[in-house]
Amino acid sequence: MTLLLRQEHHHVEATLGLDLSYFQGDVPQSSWNCLKQNGREFAIIQAQTQSGHVNPYIVNDINRAKAAGIQYVDIYIFPNVNMDPAEQVRNTVNFVKQNGGSFGQIWIDVEGPQYWSSNCNNNVAFISKMVNAGHAAGYPTHIYTSNSQWSPITCGSTAFSHLQLWYAHYDGRASFDDFYAFEVGLDHQSSNIKELLTFVVLPLMKTFIKKEQLIRPETFKLSVMNTNKLWLFLE
């Protein structure tokens, strides 16, 4: 689940959402409807697995989420470092578009040091190529990671401090109070998304849709053609 936040004069307004992995399978429309009815307003869906294969359910999940009334839908890519970084992004984007799906932003999932090179410079270059490919395809492209993952993979690189940050801290608290500058070596003074890790069990599906998120409103500004609509949404 995910939260979209607006903070003003120390007052925080939040909106719920979720991220969905490939392992949750082909989520039925009834479950997306249930999520929407229970206050989920946006979704970030895994579009590529660590094997480098596109999630075959990605377009179904995108379209069902939107059909349920979830307006803001992003994708995330789990990279395969043995494959061309830019090509992975292009293949994923093309698959979604050619099969009738659309989304707002791309998030690059940087975790699992065992899957990456032992050379931090190579890893930073790889991530940069993925980010650039996302931008070249016309999508805002950002980073998902955590301090424990970013440090060994990139040696704490600050090369992506201009991007938005989705960070993981599994404390179950819908708050950014735990975030500190340089949390993941990205030289951020604040974060856009926090992953809380709780479980949502839907009555109409047997699998878990897991990982609660906490998200700041600016995360989605580039996903919306009319920012006034976003403002009204946040109000």
List residues with catalytic annotation. 19, 109, 111
Q: What is the end-to-end Cα distance of the chain in Å, rounded?
A: 20
Element (H, E) at 213: strand 213-215
To the nearest 10 degrees (0 to 180), the angle between helices 120-136 and 147-154 is 110
**CA-based nearest residue to 131, from 100, 161, 168:** 161
Listed in sequence order, the residues at least 6 apart from 229 whose beta carbon sits closer than 8 Å to its beta carbon are none
Q: Residue 20 and residue 209: Cα distance in Å, rounded?
A: 6
Residue whose pair of structure tokens reads 């070596």 in the numeric block = 185
CB-side neighbour CA atoms (13 Å) of 65: 27
